[in-house]
Structure 1
Amino acid sequence: MKKNQIYAIVDIEATGASIGRDERMIQFACVLLKNGEIIEIFDSYVNPSRKVSRLIRNLTGITSKDLATAPYFEDIAQPIHRLLEDTIFVAHNVAFDFDFLNESFKRAGMPALDIPAIDTVQLSQILFPKEESYRLKNLTASLGYTLDYAHNALFDAKATAYLLKKLDEKLKGLPLVTLEKLAELSGATIAETSLFFKQALYEMKKQPVDLDDSLMIVEGLALKKLKSDSEQLDHRKSHTYPYKESDKRAQLESMGLNYRESQNQMMNTVFNYLKKEHPEPVQFIEAPAGSGKTFGYLYPSLYLSSPEEKVVLSTYTKLLQRQLVEDNLPQLLDRLPFDKTIALMKSPSHYLSLSAFYTKLKNIDINDTEAFFCMKLLVWLTETDEGDLEEIGLGKTLHHTFWTEVKSTLDAKNQLDSFKEMDYLARREKRLKNASILVGNHAYLFSEWQHHPGRFNKAKVLLDEAHHVPDVIEQNATMKLSVKTLTNELKQLGSKEKEDTLLYECLKLLPSQNIKEYQLDTLHSTVSIVSEEWEMWCRKWTDWLMHNDAYEDHVAEWKEKTVYYDQLPLDIKRDTKFFCRNLEELVYVGRQLTQFLDTADQDLPKNEQRLLSKINVMLDHFSTVIDRLNYLFSSKNPSNPTIIRFYSKNPLATLNFYRFDQKIKDQLLKELNKTEHLILTSSTLTVNGSVSYLKKQLGIEKERLNRYPSSYNYKEQARFYVTKDVDTSAQKNSSVSASFITDLIERILSKTDENCLVLFRSHDMIQRVYKRLNQRGQLKDRTILAQNISGSTTKIKKQFKKAKQSVLLGSDSFWEGVDFPLDELKIVIITKLPFDSPEMPVVKRRHQTLRESGENPFVTDLLPRAVIKFKQGIGRLIRSEQDKGAWIVLDRRFVEASYASLFIDSLPECLDINERSLDEISEELTKFFDQ
């Protein structure tokens, strides 16, 4: 920040977050900062002369009484205007606060402010590139500041002042070469945010500092120095695995971990299995929540692994994968008497190509959005060890062509010699070779087996959350085509007449030695034809789907349909062939334009190289689309149809096509079973005490199963109820069933304030119940959230955590993988046993295969999958020894069906089943939670 300059950090609360829609201010706060110190604070509520919605009042904490006694904006407009004169205006999302304030001045008959404005959101995105969230509360919390009352203008302004100082510190700590490039590219930022970079550069040039020892300069880029990836082995010492309970207990407790007997048993099982030279059976381990499963396999793996005998650990989610590498394994290694190298396994496309980025940086247009991306990367390069682009929060920009252009590829023909030693992909390969523990996820592992057979067969492989493995194999064996991706790329190519498109930018370069006008005209015409045909082709599909007899447009959900080639309308068959031919023509014409990239790469002017490279990336993808279209719609095999999936609210933009390939599945199962040491673990592997379902799904011939009890006291910590209340009309009228479920939820929650998760199997039912709960108003003091209505899964989870007395209606992903520890969740209501719908195309295909082999699909597929999913739903509660919770099952099949024993046996031991009426359940819950 500039010395002696006053920075006005402003935050505004209003009746709405829109400019130009006659919204009104309800609070204005300003913190004046000079030389890093607060010199003045101004804060006032503002009477908006209108009613403020309950949503805004709840969000801000501002009451109607606060506003009724507050001054009108016209009364304080002049003092605010004087206060801000000669300052630099700063806000977190300055585009809103600055424009909204000037709009308010105009309404009050005063001139707009004519002062520089700086945005701390963009500054943060550039200078803190690894942050997961740039919301003010989350960002400042990550930097060590507690924002007690978010959405109160004064508290937000103070938090933003703290953030501005942190941004200034970060900027001044960057290398001079990085700061010079940031200042050069800063024109890509909004308002006058570039002043922040230019002032820092001016001061650094006056008082330059030495380059930090952790950094190095290569071709003008400041990079973090290489870390050694080799293990420092001490061959004079032998580290013996501690079999004894006392030794293990002492070591684990020194790490701050609780010793559990079941965890000790699991550790010994894993160790004994992995140390065998040729173990015959596959080892299954079922370890329930709270048994310490993760450390149960990490601990022995560290003792047995080496660069020559690697242990491959695979998880279902990337989140857990990162957790193992960044938290769990370092925590263990910090206290173990040896060191091991850990490597994260990801595909090449996750890593930045320094050569590609360097080339991009030389050819960047400083007024382009890509300049902003480059600024973010320049700072990130001073921090990253691995060059993994997932470290950066790309958000909605993830699919921008920029990221495709700067990613690494296995084909390194354009790599610059100066970056070979620092190349992140080469370093990844070296880490994988030198590491003892390799950590990946199931999708990556099976993708590697598909493209590089035998890749990990010599390693010892452990799959966590292994109940997902059959579905992951199916997904890897399924070809996918997304309509939205191709639509967006055709729009980016655009036309010669449309601004901000690649063809328009090419036209501006004429005359050119490399870009011929006739080539550009031909490409323009071809893109126009292909774009029009693509839109018509997509519309024909959605029209055909939506006019289907079974289509219900009142349900907002993802819909699926099986497509058999022989049943397709003739015009769709014909248009698919025509479109493929025209897309091939587009690729051919486009290659004529971009051919100079391979031959005269270094001689091309910067702008030409930048544009032609973008077009070339798109052409590569178009070639892939042609292959996929031919695969999806050329086969007449009825046993392997194409599946269409789309979201009913916006079918055209969400249309996706899938087709399963049995040969790929067979190949993946073969690779899995070639693994000599294979452990599959999860909290939900068994059905009726057996792994026969998963064993059959994965083609495993011999297995050994170890199951461990939970360390939780379910008799004291939990209650399990099955309601006696029955809706006799449920099977006849879904509307009545929705009313019945709504009644039950209201009655259960009428006497308790605890947060509740209601699990469904139907999105239609979620929407019906959500509507009724809001209409009736019996739970008006509760926050009611619903999947596909209240936002994304992540957003809903955050809202659920934040709000008190919450009710969450969920399906699919909420049955598993979403944890609500401690006081965040106390009640889980299961409305229906989680059987897959037999009408789903994927399920239909699976069941057709089973029938052809003479098997009963319900017994061999639907039932075991439902039991495993039910066990996952049960796992949403009791995540620690302090947790208390209750499950309530509304489906009487749980105790009355012929298969009820399978579900009952899946419950934790010592958990009694209580059959009660809803009134009795409410009374007992009140007493239970009050204990």
Structure 2
Amino acid sequence: MRKDQLYAVVDIEATGASIGRDERMIQFACILVKNNKIVESFDTFVNPSRKVSRKIRDLTGISSKDLATAPYFEDIAHIVYQLLEDTVFVAHNVGFDFQFLNECLVRAGLPPLTIPAIDTVQMAQILFPAENSYQLKELTSSLGYSLNQAHNALFDAEATVFLLSKLDEKISRLPLVTVESLAELSRATTADTHLFFQESFEAMKNAPGDLDDSLMVVEGLAIRKPEPINEQILHRKKPVYPYTDIDKHIVLKQLELEDRPNQSAMMNTLFNYLKIKTPSSKQLIEAAPGAGKTFGYLLPVFYLATPEEKIIISTYTKVLQKQLVEETLPYLNNRLDFSQSFALAKSGSHYLSLSSFYRKWRNTADTDTEALFCMKILVWLTETTEGDLEEIGIGTRTPHPFWQAVKPSQKLRAMEVFESVEFMSRRQKRLMQSSIIVTNHAFLLSDWQSADPILESETIILDEAHHFPDIIDQSATLTLRANTLVRDLKTIGSVDREDTLISELSKQESQHIKPYQITTLESVSSVLSEEWEDWSTQWIDWFNYSQAFDSSVVEWKEKAIDLNTLPLIIKKDSKRLKSTLDELVYIGNQMTLTLDTEPETLSKEAKRLLTKLQVLLDRIQLTSETLDHLFFKNQKGSLTGCRFYSKSPQQTLTFYRYDQNSKTAILNTLNAVPHLVLTSSTLSVKQSTLYIEQALNIKQAEYSTFDSPYDFSQQGRIFVPLETYTAAHSKKAAYASELAGQIEAILKGTHENALILFRSQETIQAVYSILQKKSSLHHKTILAQNISGTPVRIAKQVKKSKEVVVLGSDSFWEGVDFPEEELKIVVLTKLPFDSPDMPLVKNRHAMLTEEGLNPFVHDLLPRAVMKFKQGIGRLIRSKKDKGIWIILDRRIIESSYASSFIESLPTGLTIEEEPLETIIEESQLFFKSIEDKE
């Protein structure tokens, strides 16, 4: 911040968050800061002359009484105006506060303020690029400040003062070369925020400091130096695995882990298997929740892995993958007498290319939106050693073309000056020198299918291996999302649409960008856009016409496509689309030829625009190739299908093609791994692993199982009502009504959080609608999947609310974690059988039938039992947890296959059959006994 300048840090609370809609101020706070010291504070409630909604009062904590006795804004307008004169206006989201304040001033008969205004949101996005949230409370909390009463103007202003100080501190620590670049690009920032960067540069230029030892400057880019690979062994003698209980006790004590007999047995089982030079079988390890599965496989791995004999650990989710790399493995390195080198393996689409970014940065105008992205990256480069764009919240499918343009590209070679420090080169070195490589199932399979795989090892451990058959099916499936092309064509745009590519290209005075090329590109792009929209609409109409779907149910709709019986118009239009796509790519490539042949003759702006066009053309080319594969190649064992989300069909329409040959190739690669370990809490059905062995084509396997240390006989009870409900097999409405009645009876007498698991989104929505109207449940917070938000959002809401009831399907059976000890009741409405009508399920069953196998016995039943085990595992997740399961599906008692489910229950958990009324009473007594003990 500029020396001796007075900064006015302002926050405003209002009746609404809209500009130009006659909203009124209800609180104004201003803190004057000079040279990083507070010199004056001003805070007042403001009478809005109108009723304030309960939502706003609850949000701000401002009562009607506070406002009734407060001054009107007209009474304080002159004070506010004089207070802010000759200051720099600072706010967290200045676009609202500054404009809103000016509206209030004009309404009070004063002129609008013309002082400079800077935005701490945008400054934070640039200077703290790796933060998870830029909301004031979350951001300042991450930086070490506790904002207890957010949405109170004074407290928010105080937090903003703290943030401003941190921003000033952060920019002062950056290298001069970085701050200079930020200043050059800062014109793209909101309001007068550029002043902050330009004044910071001027101050640093007059008193430059030394470059930090951890940084280096390459071609004007300050980047973090590559970190040396971890030392493999910190002493000369190779560590000896603690095989005996006594030795293991010593090591576990070092790690501050409790002795678990089953965990120790699992460690030895894995160690013995990995020590066999050429095992004749694959090792299957089922470890119940609480058995300590992760450390159970990690400790033997730690003693056996070397850079020459690497061990790959593959997880199901990126969350677990991240936890292993950022928490668990470093923990072992810090606690044991020796350390292991490890690396994370992700696809190249996650990483920044320094060469690509350099070209983009040097060809970005300071008024372009992309300048903001460049500023963010320039700061991040002084922090990151990995170059993983997920560190700054950029996923592999982030739609803006900029992020695709700064990733590694096969078409653009790395600049020689960056070759040794490119993040992909760093990743490759880490992988080569590491003993343990952590990845996820999806990337492992993608890598195996690539021309130049990097994940090759004689030992692979698959964690959460029960998901692997489905991940193989996904990897063997090609997808095409219709909306991807829609976004790309909008970016290409037209001459009369400002800020589109064609509009910008048409303004270039370059001999290499011919007017006729722009006209032709615009014409073909426009035709393609119309054709693609019509084609997508035809698919959705055909889809709805040929399938009896309830349009009122918000869910994913899915249907298999028989290429031989498609309507003739769709076939014709698909061929025409393919031709138009290829034409667009051809025309565009003629325009971008100069990038390869005569780049030195192009202006900076022309290079930027043509590079942006080339990225889009590459994606459109891929769309054309995918379209060809989906609709013009028919292979035995393959399946083409389409799906869309009923709430937004045009935006979510997706086509896919399952390829049996790809699956076979993946299975062959998997079974060629000498030491293959599959571990999960759910691998078996009735102590048999036949399903997973057949699904993965495993010929010979050794199976070991390790029970949970939890005492389920004391920690939980599981009930099945004696009543038989016929509505489940009759009309959907009757079933939903009866089911809602059961759930209401269970919930109304308890204060505990509950998870209700379904198998149908249609049933969830029908039951949710009924429960919302039940007066006996008005004290509950009822959340439903696809109605209250995504599973992740619902999980966050559970943390903030009391007496929560969650209605969920699919991922709620196992994928969404709730806060520890928060969940007390799990209700399973139905046994979790896959719908046999789903295209991929039908396809799988057809193939089993061809092999002479029973689809129910070899697929539907084992998959249902494994999912059931995951659902049961939602509840007891620590020795402190206690809870109740209620299963509303009497097939678990009465069906011929009931024993498969019953025998999968944890040891000590026995099904109790009682009338529903008795179950409710027993549940209440169970929870009361817990409260009494506490």
TM-score by length of 1: 0.96
Instruction: Measure how far apart 1:277 and its partner are.
Output: 0.8
* CA displacement, residues 531-557 of structure 1 (integer Å, 9 cap, x when unaligned): 121111111112222333513211111
Distance change in 2, residues 1:284/1:615 (3 Å) = same
Instruction: Measure how far apart 1:586 and its partner are.
Output: 1.0
**CA–CA separation in structure 2 for the residues paired with 1:589 and 1:401:** 19
Distance change in 2, residues 1:869/1:402 (3 Å) = same
Partner SS for 2:226: coil
Deviates more, 1:374-383 or 1:709-718: 709-718
Instruction: Measure how far apart 1:816 and its partner are.
Output: 1.1
1:359 corresponds to which residue? 359
AA partner of residue 502 (structure 1): L
Matched-pair contact (CA < 8 Å) for 1:564–1:638: no
Distance change in 2, residues 1:148/1:692 (3 Å) = same
Distance change in 2, residues 1:317/1:395 (3 Å) = closer
Instruction: Measure how far apart 1:745 and its partner are.
Output: 2.6
Distance change in 2, residues 1:809/1:676 (3 Å) = same
Question: Does 2:298 correspond to 1:292?
Answer: no
**CA–CA separation in structure 2 for the residues paired with 1:400 and 1:20:** 30
Matched-pair contact (CA < 8 Å) for 1:289–1:875: yes
Instruction: Measure how far apart 1:873 and its partner are.
Output: 1.4
**CA–CA separation in structure 1 for the residues paired with 2:18 and 2:885:** 43
2:891 corresponds to which residue? 893
Question: Does 2:386 correspond to 1:371?
Answer: no
Matching residue within 916, 922, 925 for 1:924: 922
AA partner of residue 858 (structure 2): T
Partner SS for 1:97: helix
Matched-pair contact (CA < 8 Å) for 2:235–2:338: no
AA partner of residue 285 (structure 1): I
1:821 corresponds to which residue? 819
2:433 corresponds to which residue? 434
Instruction: Measure how far apart 1:75 and its partner are.
Output: 4.2
Matched-pair contact (CA < 8 Å) for 1:821–1:879: no
Matched-pair contact (CA < 8 Å) for 1:473–1:668: yes
1:846 corresponds to which residue? 844
Instruction: Measure how far apart 1:693 and its partner are.
Output: 0.5
AA partner of residue 122 (structure 2): Q
1:590 corresponds to which residue? 588
Instruction: Measure how far apart 1:848 and its partner are.
Output: 1.7
Partner SS for 1:827: strand
AA partner of residue 768 (structure 1): A
**CA–CA separation in structure 2 for the residues paired with 1:237 and 1:754:** 55
Question: Does 2:767 correspond to 1:764?
Answer: no
Deviates more, 1:66-75 or 1:420-429: 66-75
AA partner of residue 650 (structure 1): S
Question: Does 2:904 correspond to 1:906?
Answer: yes
2:860 corresponds to which residue? 862
Instruction: Measure how far apart 1:747 and its partner are.
Output: 2.2
Instruction: Measure how far apart 1:117 and its partner are.
Output: 2.0
Question: Does 2:627 correspond to 1:602?
Answer: no
1:547 corresponds to which residue? 545
Distance change in 2, residues 1:538/1:412 (3 Å) = closer
Distance change in 2, residues 1:921/1:105 (3 Å) = farther
**CA–CA separation in structure 1 for the residues paired with 2:831 and 2:230:** 51
Distance change in 2, residues 1:142/1:234 (3 Å) = closer
In structure 1, list runs of 5 or more residues that go unmatched: none
Instruction: Measure how far apart 1:688 and its partner are.
Output: 1.2
> Percent of pairs identical after alignment?
56
Instruction: Measure how far apart 1:453 and its partner are.
Output: 7.8
Instruction: Measure how far apart 1:141 and its partner are.
Output: 2.0
Instruction: Measure how far apart 1:422 and its partner are.
Output: 0.7
In the TM superposition, 1:245-644 aligns within 5 A as 245-394=245-394, 398-409=398-409, 411=410, 414-452=413-451, 456-510=455-509, 512-636=510-634, 640-644=638-642
**CA–CA separation in structure 1 for the residues paired with 2:742 and 2:7:** 56
Deviates more, 1:791-800 or 1:919-928: 919-928
Instruction: Measure how far apart 1:750 and its partner are.
Output: 1.8
Matched-pair contact (CA < 8 Å) for 1:583–1:626: yes
**CA–CA separation in structure 2 for the residues paired with 1:43 and 1:740:** 56
**CA–CA separation in structure 2 for the residues paired with 1:397 and 1:192:** 32
**CA–CA separation in structure 1 for the residues paired with 2:597 and 2:697:** 50
In the TM superposition, 1:746-765 aligns within 5 A as 746-765=744-763
**CA–CA separation in structure 2 for the residues paired with 1:616 and 1:870:** 49
Deviates more, 1:362-371 or 1:735-744: 735-744
Partner SS for 2:777: coil
Matching residue within 697, 710, 713 for 1:712: 710
Matching residue within 703, 721, 724 for 1:723: 721
Partner SS for 1:451: coil
AA partner of residue 604 (structure 1): L
AA partner of residue 474 (structure 2): Q
**CA–CA separation in structure 1 for the residues paired with 2:882 and 2:18:** 43
Matched-pair contact (CA < 8 Å) for 1:720–1:886: yes
Instruction: Measure how far apart 1:773 and its partner are.
Output: 2.1
**CA–CA separation in structure 2 for the residues paired with 1:756 and 1:481:** 38
* CA displacement, residues 703-736 of structure 1 (integer Å, 9 cap, x when unaligned): 1111111112222222222233443323222222
In structure 2, list runs of 5 or more residues that go unmatched: none
**CA–CA separation in structure 1 for the residues paired with 2:521 and 2:629:** 26
2:788 corresponds to which residue? 790
Partner SS for 2:95: helix
Partner SS for 2:776: coil
Distance change in 2, residues 1:70/1:777 (3 Å) = farther
Matched-pair contact (CA < 8 Å) for 2:234–2:339: no
AA partner of residue 371 (structure 2): A
In the TM superposition, 1:146-165 aligns within 5 A as 146-165=146-165
* CA displacement, residues 483-528 of structure 1 (integer Å, 9 cap, x when unaligned): 1111100111111221111111110003x12111222222122112
Distance change in 2, residues 1:117/1:769 (3 Å) = farther
1:173 corresponds to which residue? 173
Partner SS for 1:822: coil
AA partner of residue 478 (structure 1): T
AA partner of residue 592 (structure 2): T
* CA displacement, residues 4-34 of structure 1 (integer Å, 9 cap, x when unaligned): 3333333333343332333343433333333
AA partner of residue 355 (structure 1): S
Matched-pair contact (CA < 8 Å) for 2:350–2:396: no
Distance change in 2, residues 1:199/1:453 (3 Å) = closer
Distance change in 2, residues 1:916/1:6 (3 Å) = farther
**CA–CA separation in structure 2 for the residues paired with 1:893 and 1:179:** 68
In the TM superposition, 1:184-199 aligns within 5 A as 184-199=184-199
**CA–CA separation in structure 2 for the residues paired with 1:793 and 1:555:** 18
Matched-pair contact (CA < 8 Å) for 2:234–2:337: no
* CA displacement, residues 733-781 of structure 1 (integer Å, 9 cap, x when unaligned): 2222222232233222223222222111111112122222222333222
Deviates more, 1:388-397 or 1:179-188: 388-397
Matched-pair contact (CA < 8 Å) for 2:827–2:888: yes
**CA–CA separation in structure 2 for the residues paired with 1:896 and 1:44:** 69
Distance change in 2, residues 1:259/1:26 (3 Å) = farther
Deviates more, 1:147-156 or 1:585-594: 147-156
* CA displacement, residues 283-329 of structure 1 (integer Å, 9 cap, x when unaligned): 11111221211111111111100010000000011111111111100
1:881 corresponds to which residue? 879
Matched-pair contact (CA < 8 Å) for 1:464–1:680: yes
AA partner of residue 754 (structure 1): E
AA partner of residue 752 (structure 2): E
Instruction: Measure how far apart 1:274 and its partner are.
Output: 1.1
AA partner of residue 334 (structure 1): N
Matched-pair contact (CA < 8 Å) for 1:463–1:681: yes
**CA–CA separation in structure 1 for the residues paired with 2:40 and 2:913:** 64
TM-score by length of 2: 0.96
1:21 corresponds to which residue? 21
Matched-pair contact (CA < 8 Å) for 2:720–2:912: yes
In the TM superposition, 1:57-206 aligns within 5 A as 57-206=57-206
Matched-pair contact (CA < 8 Å) for 2:231–2:341: yes
Matched-pair contact (CA < 8 Å) for 2:821–2:880: no
**CA–CA separation in structure 2 for the residues paired with 1:10 and 1:163:** 13
